[in-house]
Amino acid sequence: MKSKNYIGKIKSIKKINKDVYKLDICSDIESCKSGQFISVLCPNKTLRRPFSICDFDRENKILSILIKLKGEGTKYLSSLKENDEINFLAPLGNSFEFFKDKNALLVGAGIGIAPMLFLKKEMEEKNINNYLISGFKTEDEIIKGSDKVIVGGSVLDDIEKLIKEKNIDVIYSCGPMIVLKKLSQTAKKLNIPCYVALERVMACSIGVCRGCIIKLVKNNEINNFSVCKDGPIFKGEEILWD
Amino acid sequence: MGLERLKTVLKNEKTSKTLELRTPIIGASGTYGYNSEFEDFIDLNCFGAISTKGITIEKRLGNDGDRIFEVQNGLINRIGLENVGIEAFIKDKLPILKQKNIDFLLNIAGSTIEDYEKLAVIAQENDIKALEVNVSCPNVKKGCLEFGLNPNSLFELVRKIRKNYEGFLIVKLSPNTSDIKALATAVEQGGADCISAINTLRGLGIKIDYVGNKFLKKTVQGGLSGTCIKPVALYMVNQIRQAVKIPIIAMGGISKLDDLFEFILAGADAFQIGTANFIYPSICSNLALELNDFMIKNNFKDFEHLKGAIINE
């Protein structure tokens, strides 16, 4: 589906924990897939802000994102009210690959849970076995919707055990680079494919500015790929981790 | 489309070389990709041309680390001229430009005079209508900006490119100089048909957070663009206008119709839109349509007529 510039309306905005807001946006958008993101105009800032889609209600064309307060841009967006206009580009980026008969482990670290929630929903619609584990620093940072929640420790602490217990065949994850890197290494060791959704500061969000580059190793050759257009989903094993 | 009145002809009066554009609005190099990347968002027939991503002889991966730093009303970038290289451009990117009938300026950059000469030869061989020579990228260590800041070496460079290239030759100038007039004069005397200006300004972005009794610091040095540079761009374009007769393609912080009028008064004959494309991906075609509407509504029969009215009234 082509990306477009939509002017949507805030259907609802809810504070769901200490510093995360859930925005439901009503617009003309016909479809989008888990893993994709939108790029939202913040009139008080130079650049748009990218957010993973955390839910999509096809029937009512309501798209949801989670906004974690970080700076002035997110502060502005959190101050929006019902029926306010919101200008966004969507849908952007690639999406998660599905495997019908594989048991999937979904790992969300912090706000990285956002695309995992949408992925879980889509997997359930497709009757794919899945298990979502998420990790948060503190109780008041928890975002609901997981099968298991880790608070305080690392979401990766007992991950190998979990992979074996649940007979996991494929892993999907989003969160800080350090988590994605370690998880990819574990997956590689266990010979399980691992798909990671990357977060980056973006300028254009449509692949032209080359501002959000990630280096991948394919066929023994290192090349630049843009997180916004070629990603945000990449195979963990192909990423040249720092 | 009904944009006939926006038709723009850039003409070097001395040589009679011309560049015809559907509209005076061009997508600036580095913000518009190689060819049709923006087609989801715009009608490709609705704006003048694109200036391609800066092309070098060899493919470049660009800079490591953070490449983008947002500042108030602007953006600092240090992409480092990442590009596919001229060979891949000719093979993979050029056919799409031709197939989709997109007018373009081929933006080129080099580390040595020989690089620029080679690129000019390739442009000539491939019958490329317009060349925009980047002598002003602040983000690469060698070459490029060195040529752009010294009138004598710039004159030599332009002369050598001119020898190898018969199309419409545009040189893009850096604002990071104390004497833009001398550079503009060197470009004109070297045989260029047009000047585009300005490239990004040197800038340093610093972000400091105080977390857990510690200052977390981040610095990004690169090229500053966006609406915050517009007054500098207007000044530079005006200085260039005073120094040379060849046409000027102006850029630097353009994001709305009024900006176009301001740049016309400063001396512009056409415009490039850069950073604003990132925020409003339809802006190149939208501004053209807006300008067209303004001209229809106010009875300006063509772009020259509008320019004349702004400058002389």
**Nearest beta carbon to residue A46 from set B40, B73, B277:** B73
Alpha carbon distance B124, A88 (integer Å): 42
pLDDT digits (tens, 9 = 90+) for A146-185: 999 999 989 999 999 999 999 999 999 999 999 999 999 9
Tell me if the pTM is above 0.90: yes
Q: What is the pLDDT of residue B45?
A: 85
Q: Please indicate, yes or no, if residue A208 is contained in any of the structural domains.
A: yes
In chain A, the number of structural domains is: 2
Q: Does A109 lie in the same domain as A224?
A: yes
Q: Does A220 lie in the same domain as A149?
A: yes
Q: Does A187 lie in the same domain as A121?
A: yes
Q: Please indicate, yes or no, if residue A201 is contained in any of the structural domains.
A: yes
pLDDT digits (tens, 9 = 90+) for A9-47: 999 999 999 999 999 999 999 999 999 999 999 998 999
Domain boundaries along the sequence of chain B:
4-62+82-201+225-312
CATH topology of domain B4-62+82-201+225-312: TIM Barrel (3.20.20)
10 Å CB burial of residue A221 (0-12, 13-18, 19+) is exposed
Q: Does A221 lie in the same domain as A194?
A: yes
Say yes or no to pLDDT of B142 above 70.
no
Residue that finishes a domain, picked among A33, A59, A92: A92
Question: Among residues 247-306 of chain B, which lie with CB inside 8 Å of chain A?
Answer: 275, 277-282
CATH number at residue A63: 2.40.30.10
Q: Does A114 lie in the same domain as A59?
A: no
Q: Please indicate, yes or no, if residue A97 is contained in any of the structural domains.
A: no
pLDDT digits (tens, 9 = 90+) for B4-62: 999 999 999 999 999 999 999 999 999 999 988 898 999 888 889 999 999 999 999 99
Q: Does A128 lie in the same domain as A42?
A: no
Q: Does A147 lie in the same domain as A210?
A: yes
Q: Please indicate, yes or no, if residue A99 is contained in any of the structural domains.
A: no
Q: Please indicate, yes or no, if residue A98 is contained in any of the structural domains.
A: no
Alpha carbon distance B98, B157 (integer Å): 29
For residue A89, the chain B residues in CB contact (below 8 A) are 41, 281
Q: How close is the nearest chain B Cα to the Cα of A69, in Å? A: 15
Q: Does A231 lie in the same domain as A111?
A: yes
For residue B62, the chain A residues in CB contact (below 8 A) are 210, 213, 224
Q: Does A233 lie in the same domain as A122?
A: yes
Q: Inter-chain contact A210–B70, Cβ cutoff 8 Å?
A: no
CATH number at residue A162: 3.40.50.80
Q: Does A75 lie in the same domain as A154?
A: no
Kindly report the average pLDDT of chain A as a whole number.
96
Domain containing residue A220: 104-238
Q: Report helix angle B151-164 to B113-125, nearest 10.
A: 30
Say yes or no to pLDDT of B143 above 60.
no
Say yes or no to pLDDT of B313 above 90.
no
Closest CA relative to residue B233, chosen from B204, B195, B205? B195
Alpha carbon distance B84, A88 (integer Å): 30
